[in-house]
Amino acid sequence: MERTAGKELALAPLQDWGEETEDGAVYSVSLRRQRSQRSTPERPGEGQTPIPATDTFLHYRTSKVRALRAARLERLVHELVSGDREQDPGFVPAFLATHRAFVPTARVLGFLLPPPPPPPPPPAGVDSKRTEGQDLNFSKNLRAVVSVLGSWLRNHPQDFRDPPDHQNLGNVRIFLGWAAPGGAEAREAEKLLEDFLKEAKGEQTEEEKRLAWSGPPRTAQTPGSEFAEDCVEEEGPSSEGPELLDFSVDDVAEQLTLMDVELFLRVRSCECLGSMWSQRDRPGAAGISPTVRATVAQFNTVTGCVLGSVLAAPGLAASQRAQRIEKWIRIAQRCRELRNFSSLRAILSALQSNPIYRLKRSWGAVSREPLSVFRKLSQIFSDEDNHLSSRAILSQEETTEEDDCPSGSLPSKLPPGPVPYLGTFLTDLVMLDTALPDTLKGNLINFEKRRKEWEILARIQQLQQRCQRYSLSPRPPILAALRAQRQLSEEQSYRVSRVIEPPAASCPSSPRIRRRISLTKRLRSCPERRTHLLAGVLGIHPHLPPVCLQAHLHPALETESLLLRAVLQPPQGLRAPAPSLLVRTKPPAWCKEPWRSTMCPSPGPETTSSSRSCLGTESF
């Protein structure tokens, strides 16, 4: 039987085997299948003809692989230095990226940094072989510690930021001064300290300028302002210069991408951890995750710009407002072409929000082509199957750029980006932090949880490296117009929207507006149900003879519409109540029938299944 040359058995390269416990640490054990070099039967003599490929053999060997799953802090730090990098190459990067979730940096350095060098060698007569062995082990551990510190300083420099003294960085500098004087790690530590001091000086200068500036900072109007202030004048913002939509679609999309790239490159991966990001709303947690908060603020700014530009000038005709909607759709499409999913999501969230989406006349004036583009772009961020569509598209963008790069080509030939929507990763990390425990039985640190977190953080870091390929130049006029765009609060946006189109307005060509049948209409269409409901509300037995029942209900029937309108009056505000409201009506004491319950739809502003509320409160 002949075998096809080069054909291999389809076996899994890694198979789980079980667990092992050693010195209080738990290891997960796997069997790794590796292929050895091809071997060929030897033939004596020289000048022999080449051996056919069918005579070659494939040799495999199976090796045991251990990965630390749970241990105490001392053992985890010991694994940083003495662990086998070949067997577990992901341990060091996973620990350095996630350690702040369970231990501060200072405590890790306390276990990691060895004491000062030993005293001078002893005099003659002492066992020299034993001394040489100790020196050899000490030097080996010393090189491992220096290697870990070098990786730590390069990949996570902000872990050593501790103003004003930066004590952790000072301890590292002292250690590297005698362990690796003049080495790359020592130079990296010195440069990092200079950068920290320069940043502190720059922040102090900016603070002094801000205090010396006489003008008040630009802030959004409070929800309690007068209703007249909520309506924007037809001439638009009072600031001088062009509006944001006066610029071309390409220029606006490129500037939004530039701002998103700069903020995304500053994001620290450790600030995205669920244990840190989930604490952002607690009292005294205003300083947690500042780089992630900056990304969220930019997302809300873009959303506010869309709302402010579309809802501005309530006196505009529906066709004029539709032109603004169409331009934002084209900007979103250009962001998609630039692979900027952050601003793309922000623009779509604003267009799908209740104050804009309810403008039926304006949407009815939108052209067919932009409306089709809007619907296709909205499918990217569908919430079905845990946002499976957006995840698949982002993975496809990453895979495409790797496949399109021919072998041997430079990385600069790859397309830039993509810029992801950071909220997807934050949601995954928060859910992961909630689902898995921090410690296991025996008060062991669950490092398997940190490995799963590192898989997500590593993807964020890879995307940050790809985003460095963008080459966009800032356009100050567009950035100024972006900052000058008026921001509306949730209540203001909805009030202005109701002024533009009152709730009674309707348009048959509005995009997929779902009609809601009110309780009044349903009761009028079913007289028997209406009679029983009113009888229960008024405490009248519903099974009285029809003549008596009509006599009792005649005054109530005359005021039925007024009563129901008072009960179903929608509250003032953007958000609708719960999807349903259970109204229980209790019969009089002499009625032996059980309580009746009627399901009534909750009143509220016009909403659809695709409506969103991301008005300045988006926190991913």
CATH 1.10.840.10 correct for 249-277+287-400+415-435+473-500: yes
Bridge partners (DSSP) of residue 61 are: 34
More confident residue, 32 or 361: 361
Q: Where are the alpha helices (DSSP H) in 338-446?
A: 341-352, 354-357, 360-364, 368-380, 388-404, 422-435
pLDDT of 331 = 97
Output Rg (C-alpha) for the chain, integer angstroms: 34
State the DSSP string of 306-317: HHHHHHS-TTS-
DSSP 8-state code for residue 351: H
Distance CA 194, CA 216 (A): 34
Distance CA 108, CA 145 (A): 12
Count of beta carbons in the 10 Å neighbourhood of residue 83: 19
Query: Is residue 208 pLDDT above 60, yes or no?
Result: yes
pTM of the shown model: 0.71
**Which stretch of DSSP H or E encloses residue 601?**
strand 596-601
Selection from 26-40, 442-456, 488-502 with the highest mean pLDDT: 442-456
**602: which 2 tokens?**
């909750």
Place of tokens 């009028």: 524
Dihedral, 234, 238, 242, 246 alpha carbons, nearest 10: -30
- Asked if residues 512 and 608 have their Cβ atoms less than 8 Å apart, the reply is yes
pLDDT digits (tens, 9 = 90+) for 71-109: 999 999 999 998 777 778 899 999 999 999 999 999 999
pLDDT digits (tens, 9 = 90+) for 179-188: 888 899 999 9
Distance CA 136, CA 130 (A): 10
DSSP 8-state code for residue 157: G
Q: Give domain limits for the chain.
A: 108-116+139-206, 249-277+287-400+415-435+473-500
Distance CA 618, CA 620 (A): 6
Count of beta carbons in the 10 Å neighbourhood of residue 293: 16
Helix (H, G, I), strand (E, B), or coil: what is residue 59?
coil
% of residues, the chain, pLDDT over 90: 42
